[in-house]
Amino acid sequence: MTGEYFTDREDELARMVNMLSAVSSGAGSNVALIGLRRTGKTSLFENVRLRLMEMKKIVPVLFNCFGISTRARFSRVFMQEVTQAYVLKQTGDRLYKERSASFLKKEWQELLKHVSDVDLSISEFAKFHVKLREARVDEDELIEMALRYPGILAESKNVYFVVMIDEFQDTLKWGDDFLKNLRRIIESQSRVAYAFSGSVTTIMKDLLYRRRSPFYRQFVEIELGKLPTQSARKFVFSRFQKVGMKISNGGIDSLLEYSGSYPDYIQRLGFRLYQLGIFRGKSSLDEQDVKNAYDEMIQRLDGEFSTYFRSFTDFEKEILIALAHGKSNPSSMAREIRKPISSLPQILNRLMSHGIVEKYVEGRYRISDPVLSDWLARRYPLMVGD
C-alpha cells in the first residue's frame, strides 16, 4: 500500500531511500529486507520505488522472483523490467510500460526505439534477443547478460539504477554458483544499487551471515515484523474515520486479533469490513461486524491458501493441521498424526527455517500466520472423538 494507506514503516522507508539513493554519489549501500509473509515487504519496496522516481537520474526497478522457475525466464523478465523502468522514468508513459510486455513477446525492436540512441544498449539487447531464440542456449550466459544490463544501460544513459528483487529466496535453488556470479556482477556495477527481500527469514539470514556465503556481510539488513499495536489501532481508527464510519474499541481489538497485526491482513480485513458496512448501510461497526467480515475474508483466501498448502509434503501438512488445532508440543502432535515423536524435530526445524512455524515458548510451537492457521483448522477439522 502507498500514500495514506502506508503506516508505521516511515523509519524503514527513510533508511532504504537514503542508503539506495546514495548510489548516485558513490556511497550507496545494498539492502536486505527480511520479514515473514504478510509483513508488508512488497508494499515497502513500492513506496521506496515511488520516492526514488522523484529523484533525478535514479531509475528504480521492482522485480518479483515469485514463480520464476528457470534462469532463462528470469533473464527475459528481468531485462524487460529494467527497460520498462527506464522508459517510465524518461517518458512517464505508464501505458507504454504496460503495453511493452506484449511488445517484448512479439518484437524487441519496439522497446529498442526508446533506448536506441546509444549503440551499446542496442547491441546488448539484440544479442540477448538472439540468444533467447537459440534452441540450445547456455542459461548461465543468458543470466549474466541480463544481470549486467542495468549497469550497461546506466553507463550509456548517464543514470543510476536501484534494483529491488522481491522474494529473492526463490533464486537460491540455482545454487552457490549463481550467487557467486551475482555478487561478482554487483561488485562491478558502480551505478547500480541492489535491495533483496525474502520471507524465508532463516535462509535469508544465513545468506547474510554465514561466513562461507557469497553475500556474507555484503548487505545492510532491515527486518520487518508485525505492526506495533498502538500504530495499528491508530491506523484502523483513522481509516474508518476518514470514510465516515465509526468502529468500536472492541471492534478494533477484534480486527487486530483476527489479523495478528499483519499489515496485509489489516488492509484486507479493514477493506472487507468497510464494504459490508456500505452494503448494510451501517455507519457504526462492532465486533460482530468484524467477525462477519473476517469469515468472508477467509473464504476469499481459500484459493490462495489451497495452492500454498499443496506445496508442502504430506508429513508437513499433517503437522501443520495438528498445529492449527492447538497441538502445540511434539508429544501431542505425534499422537495426533500417529507418528513417532522422534520423527518430528527434523520436520519442525524445516518448517521453522522457512518461517511457517515458530517456537513461541520452550517446547511449544504454532503456525506463524494466524489466518492461515485458522483456515487450516476450518478446512481440515479433527475427526469426531479426537
**Using alpha carbons only, what angle is made at residue 32 by residues 58 and 138, rounded to the nearest 5 degrees?**
80
Q: What is the mean pLDDT of residues 235-239?
A: 89
Is pLDDT at 121 greater than 80 in this prediction?
A: no
Same domain, 158 and 17: yes
Is pLDDT at 210 greater than 90 in this prediction?
A: no
The pLDDT-based confidence of 79 (bands split at 50, 70, 90) is confident
Same domain, 117 and 38: yes
In 3-state terms, what secondary structure has residue 299?
Answer: helix
Q: Which of 6-15, 310-319, 357-366 has the lowest mean pLDDT?
A: 6-15
Is pLDDT at 77 greater than 80 in this prediction?
A: yes
Domain-located, residue 386: no
Asked if 265 contacts 372 with a C-beta cutoff of 8 angstroms, the reply is: no
Same domain, 17 and 139: yes
pLDDT in the model for residue 95 = 53
The rounded distance, in Å, linking the Cα atoms of 23 and 30 is 9
- Going by their DSSP bridges, the two strands 284-285 and 246-247 should be labelled as parallel
Domain-located, residue 385: no
The pLDDT-based confidence of 88 (bands split at 50, 70, 90) is confident
Tell me which amino acid residue 180 is. Answer: K
Domain-located, residue 305: no
Same domain, 25 and 109: yes
Domain-located, residue 363: yes
| Averaged pLDDT of the chain | 84
Among the candidates 223, 257, 291, a domain finishes at: 223
Same domain, 27 and 63: yes
Among the candidates 246, 277, 300, a domain finishes at: 300
Please state at what angle helix 139-157 crosses helix 175-188, rounded to 10 degrees. Answer: 20
Structural domain range at position 274: 229-300
The rounded distance, in Å, linking the Cα atoms of 160 and 155 is 8
pLDDT in the model for residue 37 = 81
Same domain, 162 and 214: yes
pLDDT in the model for residue 208 = 87
Domain-located, residue 177: yes
Tally of domains within the chain: 3
Q: What is the mean pLDDT of residues 276-305?
A: 92
Domain-located, residue 253: yes
The rounded distance, in Å, linking the Cα atoms of 97 and 94 is 5
